[in-house]
Amino acid sequence: MNEVVITKENFQREVLQYRDTPVLLDFWAMWCGPCMALGPIIEQIADEYKGRLKVGKVNVDEQPELASAFRVESIPMLAVVRDGKLAEQAVGLRPKEDILKLVGLK
């Protein structure tokens, strides 16, 4: 499991100040069926692209400030952060290939 749990306490260090690779953030919740379906895909991407992509999981119920900062209105929502700035985002369950294109790995 190569995903990092992102909280308001570690967000600055793990996302905004991280410059080595793009950061893919998965905004999710336990009660969200599509989020649960997306989870294994995100985990697979995190494992396969370790060193080329950092993957963070943001539980919207536990981190409402981060969900608000990213204007999350529907989940699952994916956000790509490059050099501390939001570069891409997408809402809804997506296949692995689409996610890789979103982060620029395909």
Q: Which residues are catalytic?
A: 32, 35
Which backbone phi and psi does 60 adopt, to 5 degrees? -65, -25
One-letter amino acid of 42: I
Place of tokens 């969200």: 32
- Whether residue 43 contacts residue 101, with contact meaning beta carbons closer than 8 Å, is answered with no
- Whether residue 24 contacts residue 103, with contact meaning beta carbons closer than 8 Å, is answered with yes
Which backbone phi and psi does 28 adopt, to 5 degrees? -150, 175
